[in-house]
Structure 1
Amino acid sequence: MASEDTDTLLAILASLLPEPTPTHDKLLDALVRAEGDVQAAAELLTSSSGSNRCAFPSFSQNASPSQTDGTPRGRKRKGLDTWLQSDDTVPTKSRRTTSQERVWEPPGPIKPPSSTRLTSNSSHKTKNAFDILYQPYRARSPSPSKVAPSSGDASLKPPSRSKRPPSSAEKPALSVNDVLRPPPSTAHNPQRYPPLTLSTPALIAQHTPCTLHPSILPPKLACDVFHTMLVESKNWSRNRWYLFDRLVESPHTTAMYTRSGDGESEEVQDLHKVAADWYNGAKKDPPRKFPEVVEEACRIVEKAVNEEMAKRQRFPLEWAGVHPSDGGEKILWRANFCAANLYEGAQESVGLHSDRITSIGPYATIASISLGTTRTFRLREVIPVDEQEIRSARTFNIPLSHNSLIIMHGSTQERFKHAVPPQTVLDRFRPQYPPPPSLPDLHVDPGNCRINITFRFYRPDFHPDKAPRCACGGTATLRPDMKKRQRETAERGETERRGEGEFRYWWTCTAGDQNEGKTCGFWKVMDVRAEGRGPLVMDL
């Protein structure tokens, strides 16, 4: 006998009995004895002898003669007539409002059985048991359209109540979630899709502007680079910067390497400035030269990147200069520095971000090689503001195994953010070849480590000295308008009309990364013509 059906069963049971109707307690006791069977309870009550029709014992064994009918001591006995009275006839102090009365609402239109009738004294009309039972709820229902009283029955109308302003004690308390949570949007919400795992080069090329090479280096060279960089990682550090006025630290270690050798040459000094910008403006030691095995791997990666770029349509703001080549071959992309990262264990990670393009320029190409244990590379598209009601962003997960190369072609940094999320488990990596004898002992367990080397091309036309200076005295940072906000302005499609592509870029102050979050607020739209950038693909 469910709690929400008790009143219904009592009303039906009362309608089946002749006058006078037994007390509420006796009706309930009979239902309990009959295990919720209304017909059986009615037979128990009608078959009992005596003036009270029910010879059930009192609820208290020590009850006085005046309490043998089951009415508890000190409580006024109430009959069916009192129960049928309207709410406005019940004294306010003696009336008790249960939580069920306040919040319960019939789930839908209920058709009362025509055979079940409940009759009160002659002063009351003959009413359906369901009408009497649901009358209090209809009177208090916050939405009368859900449960409308039947026409012509004035007794089912809500009782009149005096209007008075609610006291502070009667005002409902607000939940903190209701205060912090924004109101539901009335705009159309596009369909959301679950994350999609891209496990083959064909799927990656279909859904993202990236290319995957599952095995890029010779196996022996791949293991040598892995062990060499593990030894190098002993001197790597975690980046620190301010985010929302709080000092944060990257959850992995990192270091910068340049392809040029140590020295005082102009190219080396330029790359040192690039490295300083790469560390969020923090002062670091000058980057070191590529180890010999990394230089050998870089030449293989560089060849694969140029082959892929020759197959693709280039973007207007890409660099169109010619790199020096020993064999006379035209080189579109040459890696001259890299960022190396170590992810030790399953919890070391990096959140969603797009790489800084201050020194590598718009539509940059980045080649990332993975060595060691397999980790997930996550891509998530940034939806433009004028398309957010049409489609939603989707997440793509790409498992990167040992010796795999993923090339992030032009527009990846403009359209997507990427991450290496933490994992609950890892597949332990077992190198195919041991470390070279010339290397010292490893300071970490190679079985749960991933080395990631991201090769980049530093563009001469984005020399650090050519970048705008903000009021803080530092170099401004170049960022793309990933949400294409220009489409909301009067200059709609301005960059497209100029032939510069679909994205706009701006320079902004990021001195707050190392200045306790304080910036000068500098902001300026990039103008490639006024700033003398190039040569560019759109000029060819």
Structure 2
Amino acid sequence: MTRFHATARSVRGRILVHHNDPQQHSGRFSTQFLARSSDGMSRVERRKRDFFSAFAKPQPTAKKQKQDIPTTTEVTDIKDTPDGEEESTDFKLALLSSLHPSLPHEDLLELLLAADGSVDAASALAAKPRSTITTQSSLSTFLSPSSSIVSPRRIPFPLPPIPKFKTLHLSTPSQVPFHAPATLHASFLPAATATQLLTECLAEVPAFGRYEFRLFERNVSSPHTAAFYVASKEMAARHTSRGGYLYNGTTLETVRLFTPTMTAVTPIVERLVNDSIAERVASVYPGGRKLKYMLPEGKWRVTSAFMNCYDGAKQSVGWHSDQLTYLGPRTVIASLSLGVEREFRLRRVAPVTLDPDAESPDTASPPPGEESTEGGQTDKPEEEWRWQPEGQVSIHLPHNSLLIMHAECQESWKHSVHPANNISPHPLANNKRINITFRCYRDALTPDKIPRCKCGVACVLKAVQRVKEKMGRYFWGCQVGNQWRDDEKEEGGCGYLLWAKFDDDGDPIWE
């Protein structure tokens, strides 16, 4: 007589069925699988009966009988079997797989282990809402922050270094603030609102242009297209009537007004950003106080935005930090991603300075190294050093996600959009990614107030990142060297440099 021997593979999560003659196996096989109880059924037959009865529609029987047969809404712990032995992991995985067919078996195994073998508890964990980021899978996506399995941790300040030449891939929003000065919010807008905003942005893209500037004595163009937007007609008129805003030494001649949906979502962006800033100040920054030069609590607002379009996997942007000229020090930028998911990277290029005005800045001092060349002179060769290069953080930004880059991000970190080998098309945007970077321009840093160098061009605001004695200080410098050239004039500008001064809230002090 032929019988079935079912063996479940827990690692791969599938059941392999072998047709074997029991006479070919040892006596242990016959004793274990063919021994019959008083009801005339073997253990395999009893398990098969219990497995299918777990999903049978409950019959109107007495209360005692109803408790004996588990249903789909109340899966038992499967510990009290007819023969008094605990069911195997394979059998429990089969139950979980039937209850949650969309989850990979590897995830089900992790959940079962986390629940100490309880099918009830594992099923409850699997039913909890998860993050919409699907680039990687981990047990933490199933658990709430209050879960006893994942204990809450305090975000360190400053953040721990990432080993040189290493890339740390972050798979969930909860991991981001522990390794980068940023906060990620997935599924930021209601789905219909995000679709409407993306539709408006795609209609704007054909009129976008590429930014042209000078880099290493060569004319270069940005690898993607972009446009500059402002929130009101008053601000648009102020841009043009006062000489216009500069970017990399070039005037932004075209200033666009926010689209209707951009205007509609502005209050949502402002509320979330201000809440995130307040939470970070209270729980991360030293003493629960804002960093010097940050805006006062609740004062961040949306005044303008750059809208960028990355069309295809190869369009990207290299390592850079956003210019501070009109944003001021310790600025916060909110970056909204729409359309195709792309990889966003950050790496630290300088230590975080708590008080740039102090005689001895409170910064981490890297070991002595090569000669420093930016923004000043060094005293002695043995004291010359550069910040040691660090690794980078990789974050995948899906459609309708908002990344908030916090106050220390632009001064101490650089970011980029990494080229991709291939991308998954978006149903509406196809191969395009739209990125809107909402910004807060300061009223005290309008074009008519920015200092001008000896060349007669408005200066650019930068932070010192390499000179130890002046680490974290800000200066106004000539940016003529960044301008696109159509002639054979001598390279570079006048070398103008003026140290910038600000009050505690980051507004300039002019002398």
Q: Is the 8 A contact 2:214 2:481 kept in 1?
A: yes
1:447 corresponds, among 416, 430, 450, to 430
The structure 2 residue matched to 1:202, chosen from 149, 174, 177, is 174
TM-superposition CA deviations, 1:217-261 (whole Å, max 9, x none): 110111111121111011010011111221100000000010002
- Change in 2 beyond 3 A, CA 1:472/1:257: same
Q: Is the 8 A contact 2:339 2:399 kept in 1?
A: yes
Alignment of 1:315 with 2:291, yes or no, is yes
Equivalence map 1:452-467=2 (5 Å): 452-467=435-450
Aligned to 1:339: 306
2:335–2:435: 8 Å Cα contact kept in structure 1? yes
Matched-pair contact (CA < 8 Å) for 1:461–1:533 = no
Q: Is the 8 A contact 2:239 2:245 kept in 1?
A: no
| 1:193 CA drift (Å) | 5.0
Superposition TM-score, scaled by structure 2 size: 0.56
Q: Is the 8 A contact 1:319 1:535 kept in 2?
A: no
Task: Give the 5 Å matches for 1:265-304.
Answer: 265=234, 267-272=235-240, 276-304=244-272
Q: How does 1:37-52 map to 2 (within 5 A)?
A: none
Aligned length: 305
Q: 1:302 to 1:419 in 2, by over 3 A?
A: same
Give the counterpart of 2:335 among 368, 376, 389: 368
Q: How far 1:297 sits from its partner (Å)?
A: 2.1
- Tell me the distance in 1 between the aligned counterparts of 2:317 and 2:241: 24
Q: Secondary structure at the match of 2:330?
A: coil
CA offset at residue 192 of structure 1? 2.8
Aligned partner of 2:226 in structure 1 is: 254
Pair 310,206 (structure 1): closer, same or farther in 2 beyond 3 Å:
same
Q: Is residue 504 of structure 1 aligned with residue 473 of structure 2?
A: yes
**Could you say which residue in structure 1 is the equivalent of 2:507?**
534
Q: In the alignment, is residue 216 of structure 1 matched against residue 192 of structure 2?
A: no
Where do 1:74-153 residues align within 5 Å? none
| 1:305 has 2:279 as partner | no
Kept in 2: contact 1:273–1:464 (CA 8 A): no
How far off its partner does 1:465 sit?
Answer: 2.1
What letter matches 1:208 in structure 2? Answer: A
- Identical-pair percentage: 36
CA contact (8 A) 2:328 2:507 kept: no
What's the offset of the Cα at 1:396?
Answer: 0.4
CA contact (8 A) 1:470 1:520 kept: yes
CA contact under 8 A between 1:368 and 1:453: conserved in structure 2? yes
User: Is the counterpart of residue 400 in structure 1 residue 397 in structure 2?
Assistant: yes
Q: State the secondary structure of the residue aligned to 1:309.
A: helix
**2:165 and 2:480 mapped to 1: Cα distance?**
38
> Distance in 1 between the 2:228 and 2:418 partners?
22
Partner of 2:366: 387
Comparing both structures, which one devotes a greater share of its residues to strand? 2
- Over 3 Å counting, the alpha-carbon distance change for 1:382 and 1:275 in structure 2 is farther
Q: Which structure is larger by alpha-carbon Rg, 1 or 2?
A: 1
Tell me the residue number matched to 2:316.
349
2:399 is paired with a residue of what secondary structure? coil
1:209, distance to aligned residue in structure 2 (A): 1.1
Alpha-carbon distance between aligned partners in 1 of 2:244 and 2:307, rounded to the nearest angstrom: 15
Structure 1 residues 206 and 272 mapped into 2: Cα distance closer, same or farther (>3 Å)? farther
Correspondence for 2:206: 234
In the alignment, is residue 480 of structure 1 matched against residue 455 of structure 2?
Answer: no
Shift of residue 203 of structure 1?
1.2
Asked if 1:419 is matched to 2:416, the reply is yes
Give structure 2 stretches of 5+ with no counterpart. Answer: 1-161, 282-289, 352-363, 369-386, 486-490
Amino acid at match of 1:214: A
Change (3 A) 1:371 1:533: closer
CA contact (8 A) 1:274 1:359 kept: no
CA distance in 1 between counterparts of 2:443 and 2:222 reads 29
Match of 1:513 among 482, 486, 491: 482
* Deviation for aligned residue 1:524: 1.8
Partner amino acid for 2:454? A
SS at match of 2:245: helix
* Alpha-carbon shift at residue 279 of structure 1 (Å): 3.0
Distance 1:304 1:237 in 2: 30
CA gap 1:284/1:362 in 2 versus in 1, 3 angstroms: closer
Shift of 1:532: 11
